[in-house]
């Protein structure tokens, strides 16, 4: 193998290794400073949820999400500390309220990045 091919191979391998490290850092950094939410519709009558709380950066955050399944995973949003949420009878946080709730989302869990809240 000539020197140019060897150098290109080495640079390529280093780039892949570095990309793998960077990709892992984003996930683990968020996972150690907040959790994603799973909403468990134990009542079976909640079709959307309005959630208010603190994100992984310590900023106030709100989201309305539809709950088409008994367990709805809300990925891409990271929460920590106290969250408040209201269940709604209709999609897009409309209709009659199905109750208001509070939960304390841990900053870190050893076995998962998902924290379950329910009605």
Would you kindly state where each structural domain of the chain is located, as residue ranges? 1-31, 34-118
Domain 34-118 fold is Immunoglobulin-like (2.60.40)
Select the more confidently predicted residue: 30 or 6: 6
How many alpha carbons fall within 13 Å on the CB side of residue 78? 19
Per-residue pLDDT tens digits for 18-73 = 444 334 333 434 457 899 999 999 999 999 999 999 999 999 999 999 999 999 99
Select the more confidently predicted residue: 7 or 60: 60
Using pLDDT thresholds of 50, 70 and 90, give the confidence band for residue 17.
very low
DSSP codes, 50-97 = EEEEEETTS-EEEEEEE--SSEEEEEEEEEEEEEEEEEEEETTTEEEE
Mean pLDDT value across residues 76-87:
97
* C-alpha 95: how far from chain center: 26
Which tokens belong to 31? 């996972």
């Amino acid at each position: 193998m000539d020197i140019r091919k060897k150098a290109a191979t080495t640079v390529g391998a280093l780039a892949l290794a570095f990309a793998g490290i960077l990709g892992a850092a984003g996930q683990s950094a968020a996972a150690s400073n907040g959790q994603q939410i799973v909403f468990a519709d134990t009542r079976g009558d909640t079709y959307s949820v309005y959630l208010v709380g603190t994100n992984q950066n310590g900023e106030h955050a709100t989201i309305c999400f539809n709950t088409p399944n008994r367990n709805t995973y809300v990925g891409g949003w990271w929460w920590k500390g106290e969250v408040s949420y209201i269940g709604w009878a209709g999609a897009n946080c409309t209709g009659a309220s199905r109750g208001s709730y509070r939960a304390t989302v841990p900053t870190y869990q050893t076995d998962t990045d998902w924290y379950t809240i329910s009605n």
